[in-house]
Structures are given as C-alpha cells and as structure tokens.
Chain A
Amino acid sequence: MAKMTLIDAINMAMAHELENDDRVVVYGEDVGVNGGVFRATIGLQERFGEERVMDTPLAESMIAGMGVGMAAQGLRPVGEIQFSGFIYPGFDQIISHAARLRNRTRGRMTCPLVIRAPFGGGIHAPEHHSESTEALFAHIPGLRTVIPSSPQRAYGLLLAAIRCPDPVIFFEPNRLYRLTKQEVEDNGEALPLDVCFVLREGTDVTLISWAPAMNETLKAAAELEEEGISCEVIDVATIAPLDMETILDSVAKTGRAVIVHEAPRNVGVGAEIAANLAEHGIYDLRAPIQRVTGYDTVMPLAKMEKQYLPSTARIKDAARRTMED
C-alpha cells in the first residue's frame, strides 16, 4: 500500500472513477495539461484524454451551469473551481439548479454533479484564496457539503461524492494537501456521506471539528492528554447532512463539547451543532459548549492569517474551560 498525501488521494479517487465509469468527466480551469494549479488532476488528461479531462474557458458560472446540464443528461461531471473563493459566480447555478433539479421535476431529472474546490486558510495565499464558506452551502436544501481532512478520507469521500446520485460540494483543505502522508489503498471503497468520523476516543471532552482546523484540533487533543484531559475527537467531514447522532453519543459520554472551525463564528456550522446539542443533549452537558472559530471579520491577508485561524492554544484553552467546575 502506498503512502500518499491528501492531494494524491484526491487524484487517485478521480482516476479510479474515470477508469471505472465512462460517465465520469473531469473539467475546470487548468485541470488538463497543467493538472490543476495545485496539481490535483495531474496526469489525468494524459491518461484519459482531452474528451474526459477538459480545460474550460475561465468562467465559474459556466463550470457550475454546464455541470448541471451534463449531469442532467447522464454524465457524472466532476468540476473544479480553482479556489473556493471564486465559486460565487457559480453560486446561482449551484443553489438555483443543482440543488433543486430533482425536486423541481419531482425526480424526473437528477443532478449527480461534484464541484471540487480548494478551501480554507493557512497557505499565505492572496485575497479570496483562504476563506471557509461551508455554512453558505450547508444552508442550501438539496446539497451535500463534504470536507475531508486526511488522505484516506479524501479518497473514500471523493469516490462517494462522484458516485452520489445528487450534487455534492467537495471542499479540499489546501493547507492539508501535502501536510502528511497516509497509506491509502486504491480499493474503490467509498465512505458514507452522512457519518462523522471519530478520530480519537476520549472521556473528558469532545472536540468537534472539520477541514484544515482538524490539524490543530488533533494536536490540541494530543497535548491535552499530557495534561490529563482525555479528548474524543470528531471529524464532522460530512457537513451536510449533519450526523448529529455521532456527536450526541460522544457528548453523552464526555459531557463537554468544544466546536472548532475556521469559518466566522456568526451563523457558522458550529452554531447549528451547538443548537442541536442544546436541543437534544443539554442534560448530558456538564459545562457550557465552547466554540473556537475564525473571527467575524474578513479573512485577513497572509500577514495576519495566523492571528485569525483557530490555534492549538485557543482550542486547549476552550477545552480547559469546560473542565473548570
């Protein structure tokens, strides 16, 4: 079994589906000869040809809208938006059509479309390259929003997204693209799109996170362990639909919850999780729920990025607060 990075695993998942399903096409800006600006699609055009791995004109609404058209006519398009910060011109097509086509036609037409986009902060990129906007998509009925945070989960979740008969927004944490390597077997086994992952078992506090912040969250858990605080760590990964059962089960055990995300706090997905914990798990809670998030500011440029992103120290502080009597 090969050790590989998260971006290698993304590439391997697309190659697997291109190999096994003629309906799959990969398209987007610079995804062909160049293999994508991050090289997520490297080698795919060479291997599968220009008809299946297509460079498109520079137009994000076109990527989303033609994706709707291709998907509705029987293809399994996998479109790439170069950075999630450039997805907004395609927002109308995603919200008004991809998410609605099945419902609008009462099942006559469907939209098995995947839109992939690099996502999140921490790579010192220019403006519009570092935001976390999962809440915008999680709010939309008819959409699935998925964000893997390890090579194995990236492979299994992308396979699932491509095979999903409904549209999936697939955000890829660019900070984690090459951060670590993990053994990933190219076995074609998809992961479920509606189940959270328990990455670490613990008894004192549940740390709930996703996307690149998963990295700091796992570090915080390891360091808190040394202080004698036992953390259970959940990677939500499938932001919508949200698997509250796994989160509620964990909090029933630990009695404490810290939610960590890079996106702004206001109306973030953390608020939805906290509200669900309050509605369905309040009697299990032994301390107020804590949120460690980005600030409600515009994502700063590179120089202040570090100040904005949830740090391991902030996560540890929040966990410690839940342990105070």
Chain B
Amino acid sequence: MKTVAKFEIGFEQYLDPEGKPTKKLPRTANKEELLKLYRLMTLVRIFDTKAIALQRTGKLGTYASSLGHEAAHAAIGVAMKEKDCLAPMYREYAAQIERGVKMSEILLYWGGDERGSNFSGPAHDFPWCVPIATQYLHAAGAAAAFKYRKEERVAVTVIGDGGTSEGDFYEAINAAGAWQLPFVGVVVNNKWAISVPLEKQTAAETLAQKGVAAGIECVQVDGNDIVAMREVMEKALAKARAGKGPTLIEALTYRLHDHTTADDASRYRSDEEVKAHESKEPLIRLRKYLMEQGWWTEEDEEKLIEECRAEVDEAVSEYQNIEPPGVEDMFDYHFEEITEPLAEQREVAIREARRNG
C-alpha cells in the first residue's frame, strides 16, 4: 500500500521546568514583557486562592479554579489584541483579566449573578460557556463574521482535553479549515476531565493531531512554559490575521486543583501524581528564570504578593458590596422588547418579591 498522507506534530518549549532555556528565547521574552506576565500570573494565583476560600466559607457558589493553568491563559490574554474575540470556557481568568474583565465580575458570576457576564472586557468577547465545546463553534462563527467583513480580527477559543471528544469541537475546527477562518483554537490539556484521565479520553497520541483531520495547522506546546505558550499564540494570531487560516494549539499543563469546588479529586487520583506536577507548574519556572537573569528578587516577590493581595481584597469587597439585582432582571433580557405573556409573569414576580420582602 502506498502512503497517501503523513503528519507530524511539533512540540514547542523554551523554558524547562527548572527555568533553564532549552534554546534562544524569542523577542517577546524580554524583561518588561516577562515581568508583566509574571505579575498577571501571580495575581490570578492569589485571586484563585481567595475565590476558593470564599466558596469554602459560603461567600461564593461553585468555582472552577485555574490553578496550574496560569501560563496558558495569560499567554492567550497577552497575545490577543483588544479587537480580537475570546470565546472562553470557564476558567481562563488570566486571559480575561488581561482583556479588562474585573475580578469582581468573575466573582459576581460564580456568586450566581448573571450581571457578571455583562463584564468590563471587550463587549464582543463571549461570556463563560458551560456546555463543553459549544464555545468552539461560537468562535468559528465570530471568525466567519470577521472574514465576511474583511476585518483583521481573530477569534480565539479555549477547550479542555475532555472537550476534544465532543462533536462541536470537531465541527468547529472542520469548518474553520474548510473556510480558512481567522480562528485559533487552544486545547488546554490538563490531563483530567473531572475524573476521567486523558488515556481514557482518546487513543490519539496528542490532542493537537485532531487538527490534522480538519486540515488545519496544529502544534503542541509546553503550556506551563509562558515563553513557548506566548510565542505559539503570537504566531497563530499573526497567521490568522494575515488571512492564512486557522491553528489548533494543544497546551500541556496539569490541573492542580479539583475540577471545581464541588469536586474532590482525591477520589480518583493520587497525591503522588499531583505532587509530581507541582514542581512543573508555570510560576516556579518563570520565577527561576527571572531570578537567574537578575530581574527578580525575594523582596520583589514579597512586594508583588502584597500588592496582588490588596488588589484581590479590593475586588472581593467590591463584589460583596454590589446591590442584589431586582427580580425584574430575570425577565428583562429575554427579548429586546418583552413579550406580552412574559410581561404578565414579570408583574407577578415583582408582586411576589415584594410580598417575600
């Protein structure tokens, strides 16, 4: 039999887990940019810890931690332009904060208030998306709109390893390929889809290669290496912006926390496994590199943590001081103009709310 098609998947890494360069770093890995990324990742780490604490004390609903994913998310946020469009899943806080979403809004959402999704980031960014993989199609649709209007904009979307088993994932990358859309799909492979490990999710050697079947460029990257992650994002965005088609990026990372605060990962994975990944997480290696370069000291670290804590505390206090919504909010955003049957029910609900105090 003759071979009619062959493929190979490249793997990108610049900083190893010890923070040692594996090759010459790219232009974006300069002091200023790396410090900016380190601050963002640290802020999100502290925010995340605080959000979990709020949930544990009954001040927040179920929350999806981003612990361990910070580099993948921060790189997405930093590489994108404001005019680009992000269709996230639900834990890409670093990307969203970089794009202008307030931490108080993230808390508002997880606190059970829709107003959190009416956030301060770009008005064209999609809200958090719970049904797995559906966001990939929204990004493909957004990319189709940008291409139709001949705008130099890119739609970026994020999914987990489990999500790549969904039909919508494949339908989206397939359409992005068929129409050569300005689309960048990121697969944040954290090895666990709640309790199902990657090896039970797929027989594919990599998740990146799923893009091969869609005929689109695909690459695997060390998602805990912020330098590599950013470089791969920058390239994919530039390519899409130039009208040269979509890219699928598989970012290898590890979910260090439970799936959400409603989950207990100790039921299905060992402490040893988690511990083995703790040393590879993204902040450690960037900090080591920064210190090695002489761009960061213990004092800088302490100062940064203090600043971030203050910023997070302020966001928490903002969140806790937001007036609760009126019951009419439940009705007022279903249609541009409320329908008559709904208007009647709205009156009933307002009356009931008054009665209930």
- Spell out A's residues near B (CB within 8 Å): 25, 51-52, 56-57, 59, 61-62, 64-75, 77, 89, 92-93, 96-97, 101-110, 141-142, 144, 165-166, 194, 241-245
Known pairs A102-B336, A105-B118 / 10 extra A-B pairs, C-beta < 8 Å: A59-B174, A62-B168, A62-B175, A69-B139, A73-B142, A92-B131, A104-B117, A108-B117, A109-B126, A141-B334
Partner pick for B333 among A51, A71, A102, CB 8 A cutoff: A102
Q: B174: which A residues are within 8 A, CB to CB? A: 57, 59, 62
Chain B interface extent, by class: 35 or more
A244 touching B336 by the CB < 8 A rule?
Answer: no
Rounded to whole Å, the gap between the CB of A242 and the closest CB of chain B is: 7
Shortest 3 CB-CB contacts between residues of A and residues of B: A69-B141, A65-B137, A66-B141
Binding stretch for chain A, among B8-16, B46-54, B198-206, B337-345? B337-345
Closest to B124 in A: A73
A-B contact pairs, 17 of them (CB 8 A): A57-B175, A59-B174, A61-B171, A62-B140, A65-B138, A65-B172, A68-B141, A69-B138, A69-B143, A69-B144, A70-B145, A72-B126, A73-B85, A73-B124, A73-B141, A92-B134, A105-B127
Q: B129: which A residues are within 8 A, CB to CB? A: 97
Instruction: Give Cα distance in the complex from A62 to B133, angstroms.
Output: 11
Instruction: Give Cα distance in the complex from A103 to B335, angstroms.
Output: 8
Q: A59: which B residues are within 8 A, CB to CB? A: 167, 171, 174-175
- Spell out B's residues near A (CB within 8 Å): 85, 87, 114-115, 117-119, 123-124, 126-127, 129-131, 134, 136-146, 148-149, 155, 167-168, 171-172, 174-175, 178, 329, 332-336, 339-342
Q: How many A-B residue pairs have CB under 8 A?
A: 145
A166 touching B141 by the CB < 8 A rule?
Answer: no
Q: B145: which A residues are within 8 A, CB to CB? A: 69-70, 73-75
A65 touching B142 by the CB < 8 A rule?
Answer: no
Partner pick for A68 among B137, B155, B341, CB 8 A cutoff: B137
A142 touching B138 by the CB < 8 A rule?
Answer: no
Given contacts A61-B137, A69-B142, A73-B124, contact A241 B340 (CB under 8 A): yes
A67 touching B175 by the CB < 8 A rule?
Answer: no
Given contacts A56-B175, A244-B341, contact A104 B114 (CB under 8 A): yes
B339 touching A194 by the CB < 8 A rule?
Answer: yes
Instruction: Give Cα distance in the complex from A64 to B140, angstroms.
Output: 11
Given contacts A65-B137, A106-B333, contact A70 B171 (CB under 8 A): no
B155 touching A69 by the CB < 8 A rule?
Answer: yes
B118 touching A70 by the CB < 8 A rule?
Answer: no
Instruction: Give Cα distance in the complex from A68 to B64, angstroms.
Output: 25
